A and B are shown apart, each in its own frame.
Chain A
């Protein structure tokens, strides 16, 4: 067996037995430009217990990692913290092959697993928030975290070792040979933690905020945080940084930053974008330029996470907005960002519906429109000047907002 198919110890009798997916580039519409990992954990106590499984194509890799520690048939308990297929697809096969004594999931998890797999051949045991399960020398305490980001999401806490298994929360889509956060540069971790939160957790920010209240009041001590994707947090200095980012994002704290999202057919809308950018920068606000011929929706989401304004531009195409904008705006709407300010712009030739449609979209997601500019074909000097001023106007709103935040 090759070396990289071994289990990796993360705590006393606790092992990582997941799989590394170097090649995946799209997970439910989220571009995973550096792949991902599907983490699963094995606890070698009196009751040999497996937490979560992996995607179907990684069954062999997963089983050989388990086999490097113990014959998989010896597994007594399986605990499903999150029923989404990337963590459960191997469950039906494992149940068939291993015949575990029990499979546990949250109340919602039991329902979800039965609705996803109709032939589990096993009654799932539902556990409640706060319930404890003895494994021998170790105790698992369950913590419901519903809608982070599925109705059944649950944390499992290994009481004696202070290990918190957090399913998708605090994770990231990043394939790497390193299993621990401290082995990777902070900048890399931050980018991927941000992308993950922006694209997956944002709509449930109010639940994240409540979860922190609950953790703060319960005085839960944690020395290792083991999510279902990406590295394990063992260095608590790094994890505290992640925690403070989660606190910032869940409280919807924003930065002095504008995102300009646009597409262009013959360059006119792009010229407008460049003058808007100039205007915003002249007011000393940071700007991310995101032309959709090069950026896709998950990168826009990543930058939207802490932006205080979004300026959206598209040319009119067949009486409609450009399709790439429709894609991104639909995606952004679902993620429920709370961006206070925005503006729209675009070039057109004859009917010019683009701006109206963009504006309606932004208004429907609660953005206050600061200004709006249309250019018939190529922007002339007057339009360029208007664009510059629009950039300044939005930047001033942003500065005011940040001052009062």
Chain B
């Protein structure tokens, strides 16, 4: 499972951790995140994320 980085603020989405504060349970791949999910740090949409290198 790949990590994704927010292009705006640098927040890293780690699928193993998910984003439980915002209803995304651990183990959720980035592709399976709900469409309305936003970056928990800066509120950018998921289209602002790139695969972590």
Contact = CB atoms under 8 A, between A and B. Distances in A.
Contacts of B25: none
B43 A204 contact: no
B8 A206 contact: yes
16 contacts: A108-B41, A144-B43, A146-B41, A146-B42, A147-B8, A147-B43, A147-B44, A151-B41, A151-B42, A203-B8, A204-B8, A204-B42, A206-B8, A206-B44, A206-B48, A207-B42
Interface string A136-150: 000000001011000
Interface in A177-221: 203-204, 206-207
Interface string B1-37: 0000000110000000000000000000000000000
Nearest to B43: A146
Interface of A: 108, 144, 146-147, 151, 203-204, 206-207
Interface of B: 8-9, 41-44, 48
Contacts of A207: 8, 42-44
- Specify the main secondary structure of chain B where it touches its partner: loop
A144 B48 CA distance: 18
A130 B8 CA distance: 23
A151 B39 CA distance: 10
Nearest to A147: B42
Contacts of A206: 8, 44, 48
Nearest to A151: B41
A203 B44 CA distance: 13
Contacts of A108: 41
A147 B45 CA distance: 13
B37 to A, nearest CB: 14
Given A146-B43, A151-B42, 5 more contacts: A108-B41, A146-B41, A147-B44, A204-B42, A206-B48
A204 B48 CA distance: 12
A206 B43 CA distance: 11
A156 to B, nearest CB: 17
B12 to A, nearest CB: 14
Contacts of B48: 206
Contacts of B42: 146-147, 151, 204, 207
A391 B9 CA distance: 35
B41 to A, nearest CB: 5
Contacts of B43: 144, 146-147, 207
Contacts of B8: 147, 203-204, 206-207
Contacts of B9: 147, 151
Nearest to B42: A147
A144 B43 CA distance: 9
B45 to A, nearest CB: 9
B9 to A, nearest CB: 5
A136 B49 CA distance: 43
Contacts of A146: 41-43
Contacts of A144: 43
A167 to B, nearest CB: 15
Nearest to A206: B8
A151 B41 CA distance: 6
A61 to B, nearest CB: 33
A207 B39 CA distance: 12
